[in-house]
Structure 1
Amino acid sequence: MHNIVLATLVSLSLSASFAHAQQSPWTGGDDLPTNPLACDATPAAVQAKAYDGGVPANAPDRKGKPLKIVDVPKLVGVGYFTATSKGMAEAAKEMGSVDIKTDGSTKANIDDQITLIDNYITSGVDGILYAANDPVAIAPVLKKALAAGINVVGYDANSTPDSRQWFVNQAEFNGVAKSLIDNLAAEIGEDGSFAIVTSTFTTPNQARWITEMAAYQAKCHPKMKWLETVEAQEDNILSFNQANTLINKYGPELKGILGMTSVATPAAADAVTQAGKCGSVAIVGLATPNAMKPYVGAGCVKSVVLWNPVDLGYAAAYVLRATADGDLKPGDTAVKAGKLGELKVVNGSEILLGAPFVFNKENIGTFDF
């Protein structure tokens, strides 16, 4: 849900609406085009796009053969990527003859991630699964893997498309953006002020969500006010401290905090709880249900937006197997993913897991991850 060495903390403090932020230099989002969904939830039309992924050089025939795969997530030791690893293990057991090993740093550090991938290219693997800490910085080592004939599939956080074959997208960015902003607006009102706690300003999926949130909020909730976006490095203590700083800095003006990671959201909820602000500062964000159950149960958090990361890891493993077997090829419109059924190909070289899910007090107890 996450990236860089903990160095100088850069915080951007703007008192501006999301709409204004889109036209002004700011930190936290990217500069890619946006596609905000309709305010009334009308489904977006899926547009065909040519395959834009990479191609491994002189890859051997791997159809039906045993596969040795390494999974290099943003970091290890957090519930989210423990869940994706669990899904990969489930898929590997179902498929048979697939060995998937997860290896990563305990911090979301792009340099560590690059080094790990480079080492596995040298030691020899058939496939690499990854969740990028930085979409551009990771590209050269992934291209090196492709040049070595290794199948490369991303999930959770993309790289530049030409540095991997496929990317398993947990939910389209504009869908996540709509769900987060709609749920926040329902809690803080159409003119409420809010801030964002993210991991770093270069983490690709979070930057994309924030930019799509900006576009959707400007279109559908134009009176809401964005106060600030702060970095918290996928660190629990820093996330708590950043949320606490926002609470103290803005006082009663702050009506809500959006957590962009599975670390930031529960930490922000803890900060609101300890500050005695439950009911006056809403927490909406991306997180795993187990981490949020205490806050949802206490009534301090009403909406947790995510997808099932176990399913995400499961889908990524099936996509890599289909890619290695030649069953998923450029130009295909769907891929079979075990118990998940057929998953659609979107945006040229992305596999869509599905729409985001909202965990709340009524349903969160039925999930365990």
Structure 2
Amino acid sequence: MSLLRTRSRSLLLVGGLGVALTLSSCSGGTTRENQNDAAAPAATSTATADPSATIPEGLKIAFLPKQLNNPYTDIEVGGGKEGVEELKGSYSLVGPNDASASSQVSYINTLIQQQQDVINIAANDPNAVCPSLNQARQAGIKVVSFDSDADASCRDVFVNQATTEGIGQTLAEQALKESGGSGQVAVLSATANATNQNAWIAVMQEELKKPEYSGIQLVEVAYGDDDDQKSFQQTQALLQKYPDLKAIVSPTTVGIAAAARYISTSSYKGKVAVTGLGTPNQMREYVKDGTVEEFALWNPADIGYLAAYAGAALQAGQITGKEGETFTAGRLGEYTIGASGEIVLGPPTTFDAANIDQFNF
């Protein structure tokens, strides 16, 4: 049993990213100080939760992912749609085609004009979206960040895939195992300003300072912008720049698939390992042809599903976003809100040749 699999099964993930797969990833945008001045958060801190409150039918629940037409995003928002339909609400999906820092702002403004009841957002930048999100909250709209957090001052709760620490540690363990315990490794991330990616990588870098990782050298963090072709090209560039590279760790589903595709038909196959976060359906062929030994992920559909229920619970008054409050999220069961309004989905699963055919997402 691998070290990664042991951790993924035993790690107790409590509120504390997190954590995107991309499948979907901080710079730019408004500073936290300026953001707080630009739009004060809605006055929800004094509200009292009523766990017995009934969720009304017909809630208008919108999803605003990092970008549309992204394999990971499609699965996430599909789970969100499932949840909204169970709640007998009205589901809508909007979003940009690129994952730039400010690309989501205009969509938030439109959702405010549409008088949505809930906005679920996977933030491309934690600060750039804050003024608009706080305008939404002032208008009575509940804001749930999922997958990639917005600043805590401009959302009500955050639905995290797993703890930031747990994912960062997993990435470090992947680097150790796939490199054979020593040598050069590189990270292929999403965008340079992606909240979750940056947080995971920061934990990974701290982990690599520990004695057990002394043989590992992290040579570069490259950015494919969650674009398949750019991620493919960045893989090629990394391999050319570092001829002794042992492994590429990609904490985004777009990146890991692009890296595996490049290596699978190159002379690097069997010499440079690829691992990180991906979905079984996109990675199955690369596991079976030997390009990828193992990778990890949670079920992204459950993230969107949980976000839908969290938003509805907020709008109904079952929860306010305070630590310790509980609510039930349909088929996923009961959840407790952790520190800073974080709701943690649960531990990731490790996929390899032995189990990958047991999953279909």
TM bucket normalised to smaller: 0.7 to 0.9
2:316 aligned partner: 325
AA partner of residue 223 (structure 1): G
1:161 partner letter: A
Alignment of 1:1-369 (within 5 A): 43=11, 55=42, 63-96=55-88, 98-219=89-210, 220-251=212-243, 253-329=244-320, 330-369=322-361
Letter in 2 for 1:267: A
Q: Which amino acid aligns with 1:239?
A: S
Q: 1:80 to 1:241 in 2, by over 3 A?
A: same
SS in structure 2 at match of 1:111: coil
Q: CA deviation at 1:159?
A: 0.6
Query: Deviation of residue 346 (structure 1)?
Result: 2.2
2: CA distance, partners of 1:348 / 1:178 = 21
Structure 2: where are the runs of 5+ without partners? 1-5, 17-39, 48-52
- Alpha-carbon RMSD: 2.5
Counterparts of 1:354 and 1:344, CA distance in 2: 12
Tell me the TM-score normalized by structure 1. Answer: 0.82
Superposed displacement of residue 281, structure 1: 0.4
* Equivalent position amino acid for 2:257 in 1: P
Any conservation in 1 of the 2:264–2:291 contact (CA below 8 Å)? yes
Q: Which runs of 5+ in 1 are unaligned?
A: 1-37
Classify 1:360/1:41 alpha carbon distance in 2 versus 1 (closer, same or farther; 3 Å).
closer
Aligned-partner Cα distance in 2 for 1:347–1:254: 39
2:319 and 2:325 in contact (8 A); partners too: no
Displacement of 1:187: 2.0
Q: Distance in 1 between matches of 2:157 and 2:84?
A: 18
CA distance in 2, matches of 1:54, 1:360: 44
Shift of 1:44: 6.5
Tell me, in whole angstroms, the C-alpha distance in 2 between the residues paired with 1:300 and 1:95. Answer: 42
How much has 1:313 moved relative to structure 2? 0.6
| Residue matched to 1:29 | none
Give the drift of 1:260: 2.1
> d(CA) in 2 for partners of 1:215 and 1:67?
43
After superposition, the Cα gap between the structure-2 partners of 1:81 and 1:46, relative to the gap in structure 1 and judged at 3 Å, is: closer
Distance 2:74 2:15 in 1: 34
Q: 1:316 is matched by which residue type in structure 2? A: A
SS of alignment partner, residue 230 of structure 1: strand
Question: Structure 1 residue 319: deviation in Å?
Answer: 0.6
Q: Indicate conservation of the 8 Å contact 2:68/2:96, yes or no.
A: yes
Q: C-alpha distance in 2, partners of 1:172/1:216?
A: 15
Give the letter aligned to residue 130 of structure 2: A
CA–CA separation in structure 2 for the residues paired with 1:68 and 1:45? 31
Relative to structure 1, the CA distance from residue 183 to residue 161 in structure 2 (aligned partners, 3 Å threshold; closer, same or farther) is same
Question: How far apart are 1:199 and its partner, in Å?
Answer: 1.6
Residue type at the aligned position of 1:254: L
Q: Which residue of 2 aligns with 1:28?
A: none
1:285/1:345 Cα in 2 relative to 1: closer, same or farther (>3 Å)?
same
Question: Percent identity, aligned pairs only?
Answer: 33
**Post-superposition shift, 1:304?**
1.6
What is the CA distance between 1:191 and its match in structure 2? 1.6
1:138-172 Cα offsets, whole Å, 9 max, x none, are: 11111110111111101000011010000000111
- Following superposition, the deviation at residue 39 of structure 1 comes to 9.0
Return closer, same or farther for 1:334/1:193 CA change in 2, 3 Å cut-off.
farther
TM-score normalised by the chain length of structure 2: 0.84
Query: 2: distance between equivalents of 1:44 and 1:225?
Result: 29
Structure 1 residues 238 and 47, CA, compared in 2 at 3 Å: closer, same or farther? closer
Question: CA 1:234/1:42 → structure 2, altered by over 3 Å: closer, same or farther?
Answer: closer
Which has the larger displacement, 237-246 or 63-72?
A: 63-72
2:352 corresponds to which letter in structure 1? N
Deviations 1:98-144 (A, max 9, x none): 11111111211333311111111122211100000000111111111
Structure 1, 84-93 or 181-190: larger mean CA deviation: 181-190
* Cα displacement string for residues 254-301 of structure 1 (whole angstroms, at most 9, x for unaligned residues): 000011211111001111122221221000111222111110111110
Q: In 1, distance between residues paired with 2:149 and 2:15?
A: 20
Does the 8 Å contact 1:184/1:282 carry over to 2? no
Report deviation, 1:89.
Answer: 1.6
Kindly provide the amino acid, as one letter, of the partner of residue 212 in structure 1. Answer: V
Local SS of the residue matching 1:82: helix
Distance 2:128 2:185 in 1: 31
